[in-house]
Structure 1
Amino acid sequence: MGVELLTERYQSQMAGVLSCYDRIIIQGTVPKWCYAQGMTDYFYEHQIRIFDYPRWAEPLRDAIRESLEHMAAEKGIEIEFIRSKKNKFRQEKRVQELLDQRGDGPGLVCILSAMEPCGSYKPWHDKKTHKTYLKPADGKCLHYDVYFIDRIWGCAPYACPRGVRSGCRSTANGHSYLARQLSQRQIEYRVLDNAFGWIADLEQAQKLADPFSVKMVHRKLDQFADRYCPVVQQFGLSYHWSLDQVEFATDLVFAKQVDLHTRQTDHRPRPEAQTTRHHPHALSTTGWLKVLPSSLRIC
């Protein structure tokens, strides 16, 4: 006996179905700088002494800090230092408070900073082989989380660590992207948490969600890197983007709230919700090809 899908079981009770990407976490690394042998080769190619690494890296870290401080000053905001990022809810709550004050118009919302673990390198000379090279090292450095509203993506957090080896990280949200598209076309909708509880034109909404393309993602990521982590440009380098986590969701919209109340499942929704998430996929880098179509492969 095959598995009966919720879309089949409750087809007569549903007002519509919408499938789109949810949260996508994308990691950016500089290919030559993200592993010890590559960084060692880079130093030898550019005739930089291995033991000069600390002196070489410090101006890069300072440049990231100065760039973000200048950006914050231009926008009239202060960089807020967070003593502990273990409680993620507090950080998101702070961002939401600022969004409630400023609205959801495009532009910089805030910059949060915190000390976090980051990868680095240390110079090493092997007395047996007489080779000098860089070895991986763990430490802590100041990370910056830049929150801004993009005209297309909506709210898009961007992480800029000051460690040379760590790279950067960007987060996109398919629901946020679709909400921006609906608003620009004046299509009314209602959001419940991170799902759509109602959309005036579901068919058009699905058409807007489908073209989420790799070209658009790459173009946006390059723009964000140029804006918030421009340091690598002076070396003629660019970021390599890879998917760290991808979530895909199908929102089921029930026509009547009572139908959702009486639905017999192992996971009962909250009484006030009229939308449930069907088969969300959250996967690591090793498994994303199983559900991700070829049109969104970032390699």
Structure 2
Amino acid sequence: MAEDVPAWDFAVAPPRTAPGVSSMVGYRALDVPHTLHRGLPSSRLTFIVAMDDGVEAAATMDALPAVHPAPIILGGLHTSASYVRQRPAQAGVQIAMHPLAARAVFGIPAAELPVTEFDGTSYLGTAARDLHGRMTEVTDWRTAFRLVADHLIGRYDGDHVDRLRPELLRAWHLFERTGGRAPVGAVARAVGLSTRHLGTLFAREVGRSPKQVAGLMRFERAQAAIAEQVRLRGSADLAGVAAAGGFSDQAHLSREFGRYVGLSPTVWIAEELRNIQDGGHRGAGEWTHD
């Protein structure tokens, strides 16, 4: 029966495939009509290598009609949903990159990556275009993951990591360990900086304030929990997710979801149900990163 046909084929690469990678997921549309998809904000950078002619993505729905397919997508830390035109048979590999690895992998800080334009070829050059060309000829996920991992390993320069301020690394860890629930002032004191100085470090390196990064972490943890519950049992306990994620109540969670996604959690679930059931919307936190 038609309803038994999966919409997507998703495949997950093994953890620690390449430096700075939080997750690497292959996607291939199997039964997907022409439709609109919302790319969710995250505390990770988005790096996509298409296995077809490219991804059509824009920061706003109004901008989408003028967008041309981009073979490589690279985006900084977004605080609102992006819009992606889904097409039958599209395929690629999507990588969630740790923002503090941007200098080491891409040669520039995450703060300098685009948040309203997504074509990454101008940032990554000929090697990335060559990678896309090879990826269009791949038919299995193992080879696709190896090609992407080899590309990232080849770009990696560990000297950039050594130059990161240890206070910044420690602060990020504290926010992440608490799912974004740690107060900014408390984190600043814990790493021996003023709140203002910590904010300067975050703005310079990732282009967002500590409060914004913490908010993204809270949102993505809640979104991943909702998706996992829907995938396992067909529905989500939104009040429970709100309580576990540090939101004051379900209404608070819904307001934050609306701010980041433009939809309530229940409408988002309905819109993304097939993607979720087929294994999409995995949280980057399922992996550890180097």
**Shorter-chain TM-score above 0.5:** no
More strand by share: 1
User: Which has the greater radius of gyration?
Assistant: 1
Q: TM-score scaled to structure 1, two decimals?
A: 0.26
The one of the two structures with greater contact order (alpha-carbon pairs below 8 A, sep at least 6) is 1
Q: TM-score scaled to structure 2, two decimals?
A: 0.26
